[in-house]
Amino acid sequence: MSTTAVAVATRKSLRFYDTTVGKKAVMAVSGVVLFGFVLAHMAGNLQIYEGPEKLNAYAKLLRAMPAALWGARLTLLLMVVLHIWSSVKLALLNKLEARPTGYVRHKSQTAGYAARTMYWSGPIILCFVIYHLMEFTLGVGGTPYQEGNVYANVVAGFKVLPVSAFYILSMILLGMHLSHGLSSLFRSLGFDHPRYTPVIKHLAIAIGTLIVIGNISIPISVLAGWVK
């Protein structure tokens, strides 16, 4: 124990959101909801392989329930705000405050590439989400857009190589982001067990990879001419 103890600081209790553990829990829970959306969204998108009628009918079905649609949109927006708010607060603390003087030499002992890149994979994914909404929801992404014809919009959009490239890159980053986030959230919420944690880690990587493959298959199929 330290040999240089000084007077005990007056203890004031911090509120839940003021603590690092509380913010991490907020990040975990909002992350789970957003992950659920990513999964459902991918399942919906994959209907593109069943042809234009099927995909467009699905899109119409979603729009036919405005209350549910807007409920979901507002919930997701709230989750995005909470996820970003907690991560920005913690990133500022970790990157700027907690270690004012860095090391001359520093060597990392763990592999955690995905974990270490969360700080920039997050912001890039946010840029992607904004562009994605502009392109396919608002129709102002600079690619051909027909109201209500999701299939045609997707095909026309992905024929543009830089757009497809940006999508593919973003999906790879999303997969990395999830492969760390999906296992890290268990510990943030208080669960770690010698038998299950290694399994969770592998599952998180597998799910992250599946999401990358499922989502990038669409721009690749369009570029290759398999989906027209």
| Residue numbers at the binding site for another protein (CB under 8 A) | 1-6, 8-9, 11-14, 16, 18-25, 90, 93-94, 97-110, 112, 115-116, 118, 180, 184, 186-194, 197
Q: Pick between residue 55 and residue 185 the one whose CB is nearest to another protein.
A: 185
| Residue (of 39, 175, 37, 38) closest to 117 by Cα position | 175
Closest approach of another protein to the CB of residue 171, in Å: 23
Closest approach of another protein to the CB of residue 90, in Å: 4
Closest approach of another protein to the CB of residue 28, in Å: 9
Closest approach of another protein to the CB of residue 59, in Å: 38
Only one residue has tokens 């608002």, namely: 138
Structure tokens at 227: 């989906």
Q: Pick between residue 70 and residue 191 the one whose CB is nearest to another protein.
A: 191
3-state secondary structure of 104: coil
Only one residue has tokens 């980053």, namely: 173
Are 135 and 163 in contact by the 8 Å Cβ rule? The answer is yes
Only one residue has tokens 């999401």, namely: 211
Closest approach of another protein to the CB of residue 185, in Å: 9
Q: Pick between residue 18 and residue 53 the one whose CB is nearest to another protein.
A: 18
Q: Pick between residue 191 and residue 226 the one whose CB is nearest to another protein.
A: 191
Q: Pick between residue 41 and residue 202 the one whose CB is nearest to another protein.
A: 202
| Residue (of 125, 143, 145) closest to 83 by Cα position | 125
User: Which residues, 6 or more positions from 17, have their beta carbon under 8 angstroms from its beta carbon?
Assistant: 23, 26
Are 154 and 218 in contact by the 8 Å Cβ rule? The answer is yes
